[in-house]
Every structure is written in C-alpha cells, then in structure tokens.
Amino acid sequence: MKVWEQKPVNDEGHLLFGGCDTVALAKQHGTPLYLMDEDRIREACRAFRRTFAALGVDGMALYASKAFSTLAIYRIVAQEGLGVDVVSEGELRTALAAGTNPADIYFHGNNKTEDDIAAALDAGVGSLVIDAFEEIEAIAALARERSQIARVSVRVKPGVEAHTHEYITTGSDDSKFGFGLADGCAMRAVEAILAQPSLKLIGLHYHIGSQVFEREPYALAADRTMHFVRAIRDTLGFEIEEINLGGGFGIHYVDADAPIEAVKHIQMMVEVLRTHCDKYGLPLPRIKVEPGRSIVGEAGLALYTVGTVKELPGIRTYVSVDGGMADNPRYALYQAEYSACLANRPHDANETTVTVAGRCCESGDILTKNVALPACRRGDTLAIFTAGAYQYAMASNYNRLRRPAVLLVRNGQAAPIVERESYEQIMQNDRLPDWLG
Ligand code: LLP
C-alpha cells in the first residue's frame, strides 16, 4: 500500500505519521523537518530476513547506509539482524559507533583512499569490496604490513542496463564501478587477488543500479555472474563462496510507480543461482543483498512550511517552501517525482497541479513538478512522502541553510535522531587568516 493512500488523521484533521500529529511536530521542531517511521524501517528489515528463511538459504541483507546514515538508523538495522554497506570512513565510524558488528560491515567504493583501507582493516570489516586493479595491491600491501589477512570481494560489472536514471545506473559496461565480465577484467582481478597471500577472496559482488523496476536486468546479472562463478572454478580451480547481489529495488514515489517488491526480486535471483548450481554441480553460495532505499525510503516524511504562492497564468503555479535543494537535491539531480499533501488538511480535495519550489537562489531549486494539491496558502504545512532515502543523506548547507532536524516516530512518540544544525555549527570551520585583519 502506498503511504499516501492512507493519510490517517487525528481529531484536528492533521496528518498522522507514526501515530504523531505532523503539524504539531512541525510547530514544535520547526521546518524543514524529517520524520522517520521506526516500525516501517523494522518491517522492511524483517521482510528480508523472512525471505531468506523461507527460501532456506544462507542469506543476509546489508543495509546500504548511504541512503540514510545516522547512529539511530544503524542501531535499528543492527537490532534487526542486518549488516551494512559503507563507502567511507565517515559511514564506517558511524556504523561502529552505533554498535554494528564489524564482521557484518562491507566496505565499498570505486576509489578507496589509503585512509579508508586502513580504517577498514583496523575495524576488521567483513569484506573490502575491490573495485579496481590498483586496490588489489594497495589493500594487499597494507594488510601485509600489518600481518593481517584482508577479507575481500570483487565487484563485477555484469553489463546490463537497469533502465533507471542515467546517474544511478551502475551495472552497464560504461560504468566507473567494478571489473567487466565481458572484457576479461574480472577474471584477471580474481587471478591477481588469489596470488596475494595477504588477501582472502570471499566472494563476488555486483549492483546494477538504483530505483529499478524491472525483473530482467536482475535475472540477467545473476545469470552472467553465475557463468563467471563456473568459469572461475573451471579455469582457476577456485570455488566462490558468496555472492552479493546488490540492491536498487524500486519503491513508490508517485501513483504511476509499480515496483516489484524487493523480496520477489530476491526469490527470482535465488532461483537463477539454484538453476546454475544444480546444472554445474556448484554449491549454492552464501547470499548477500544490499537494499538502501527499500528500507528507509517510504519510512520518511518531509515537512515544510508554505511561504509564497505564485500563479503564472497559462504557465504554472509555484508553491515555495522553506526547504529545497539544500535538504533534497533529488529533483535537481534526477528530476525526481513525489507525492505530497497538506498535513494540516490532508483530505481537502486536490484542485491544482503545482510546482513545489525551494528557497534557494536558483531556478533549478525545485522539490517536485506537477504535483496535485489543494489550493496552498502561506502557513500550510506541506508533507512530501517517500522522503527517507538520499535526501537528508545528500543535504548540504547551500545558501548557508542549516541542515534539517530528523525525528524518529513510533506509536505516537517522537524523538530527535538528528538535531537541526545551528548557525554556529555552520560557521565553526570557517577561519579568517591574519591578513584579512
Ligand atoms: N549497493 C551499492 C554498491 C550501491 O552503490 C547502492 C546505491 C546500493 C547498494 C543501494 O541502492 P538502493 O537499494 O538504495 O537503491 N542518490 C540516488 C541513489 C544513488 C544510489 C547509490 N548506490 C537517488 O537519490 O536516487
């Protein structure tokens, strides 16, 4: 069920989210304000665990924490028995501070710095996912120096088109990520890793893209990767123990979205793996998946206060709110679409189609175009649904706006998980060199 289809209200007619009065929270904490629904996050995590249990496979979901990376979210996913995918020392430190088991942390990235590698080895992460030839020697050398054996995987590029926005597709041949299967680079990488005594190869990884709706690219990627598993066994005599099938499972932003549920994709991919294993006498590898958006996306709600409303006759109506591309750059980057309502009167009939603009000083500062709403007035509280993934995580201080506060909501209770930034914090790293007087 799409989150915006229910729109539960209290006696005052205010939109409830996680059982909380969204208008009251907006008043108390100010806007822009992000709410994260704890139960939805937990339920999304549990669906992955249930799926693996029902399939009878050794599988684990790693939360792709780039989608929303804060202490509380890491804590929740750890409590639900998920591991995490991190891509920087910042994410790694946050995950560790939240109590994530280091063995359940996978460290990704197409260009890990020496500091990243050292931090990952210090922590003893479950796997460093090798993405380029340079990283093989860099990780092996650092591990050797420390008399450690680094657990690594190889990111492969299955050469599939995920038919999503160009900026978030990753599995095609023309991608900065991973080693090509088709051009032989992946095989060379595996060979080079096996020749390094300070590296232990635990598996393969791929991720084909994000907000993917189709079944075929997942099936094709699983199929090609299993061919590669067989080729590794046949040519190098090495058995791959683990396959990380990535994430990217699409979610609902607007009525027209019809994603296939993440668990269905997983069932189908496991089927592909099983077919290969039966046919070629391979053991079924351990399975990892890396959902980000499908865990936190629909669990998030963004609240703004409506300011100016400009009707440009025959062109469009701009409803401007007190946030914008600084807290959510997704329209600017990917022309993202959203569903919205007025939280103070969510069941008023929609009578106009408007463009929701932010308050930043550029025309590209749009939150979403062509969204149906009742006539908006200054002071209304605008709620944008499906705001949990890649919004707060990509927020900036553009125009010296403070990054918003985030509250965790559950059963009518609300508590901050990120405080609103202060102006002092915005200026805290600025310096005035002596010669400026
Ligand atoms: N695994 C890897 C290696 C990834 O790079 C990603 C996302 C994921 C898993 C999780 O994908 P998800 O399940 O969240 O779709 N900022 C963009 C999305 C960028 C995705 C980056 N990688 C957006 O706002 O749409």
| Mean pLDDT, contiguous 10-residue spans, the chain (437 residues) | 91 98 98 98 98 97 98 98 98 98 98 98 98 98 98 96 76 87 97 98 97 95 97 97 97 96 96 95 97 98 98 96 98 97 97 97 96 97 98 98 98 98 98 97
Using DSSP's 3-state secondary structure scheme, residue 67 falls into helix
**Environment class of 411 (CB within 10 Å of its CB; exposed 0-12, middle 13-18, buried 19+):** exposed
State if residue 386 touches ligand 1 by the CB under 6 angstroms criterion: no
Residue 228: the pLDDT is 98
Please tell me the distance from the alpha carbon of residue 315 to that of residue 308, in angstroms, as a whole number. 17
φ and ψ at residue 434, rounded to 5 degrees: -45, -45
Q: Are 26 and 305 in contact (CB under 8 A)?
A: yes
pLDDT digits (tens, 9 = 90+) for 84-132: 999 999 999 999 999 999 999 999 999 999 999 999 999 999 999 999 9
- E strand spans, 24-147: 33-37, 59-64, 83-86, 105-107, 127-130
Q: Are 105 and 95 in contact (CB under 8 A)?
A: yes
User: Which of these, 171, 244, 173, lies nearest to 214 by C-alpha position?
Assistant: 171
In angstroms, the first-to-last Cα distance of the chain is: 60
Residue 166: the pLDDT is 73
DSSP 8-state secondary structure symbol assigned to residue 167: G
Which residue's CA is minimally distant from atom 3 of ligand 1? 207
CA of 248 to the centre of ligand 1 (A): 6
Please tell me the distance from the alpha carbon of residue 194 to that of residue 199, in angstroms, as a whole number. 7
Ligand 1 atom nearest residue 389's Cα: 24
Q: Are 190 and 234 in contact (CB under 8 A)?
A: no
Tell me the pLDDT of the chain averaged across its residues.
96
CA of 171 to the centre of ligand 1 (A): 12
State if residue 224 touches ligand 1 by the CB under 6 angstroms criterion: no
Please tell me the distance from the alpha carbon of residue 314 to that of residue 159, in angstroms, as a whole number. 45
State if residue 168 touches ligand 1 by the CB under 6 angstroms criterion: yes
State if residue 213 touches ligand 1 by the CB under 6 angstroms criterion: no
Ligand 1 atom nearest residue 165's Cα: 25
Using DSSP's 3-state secondary structure scheme, residue 206 falls into coil
Please tell me the distance from the alpha carbon of residue 179 to that of residue 171, in angstroms, as a whole number. 10
Q: Which residues of 360-397 are buried (b: 16+ CB within 10 A; e: fewer)?
A: beeeebbbbbebebbbbeeebbbbbbbbbbbbbbbbee
Residue 167: the pLDDT is 73
Residues acting as catalytic residues: 361
pLDDT digits (tens, 9 = 90+) for 207-256: 999 999 999 999 999 999 999 999 999 999 999 999 999 999 999 999 99
CA of 67 to the centre of ligand 1 (A): 7
Residue 169: the pLDDT is 72
Cα 256 from chain centre:
21
Q: Are 326 and 358 in contact (CB under 8 A)?
A: yes
Using the Cα atoms of residue 168, residue 169, residue 175 and residue 179 in order, give the sign of their dihedral. positive
Residue 140: the pLDDT is 98
The residue with tokens 């930034």 is 421
State if residue 323 touches ligand 1 by the CB under 6 angstroms criterion: no
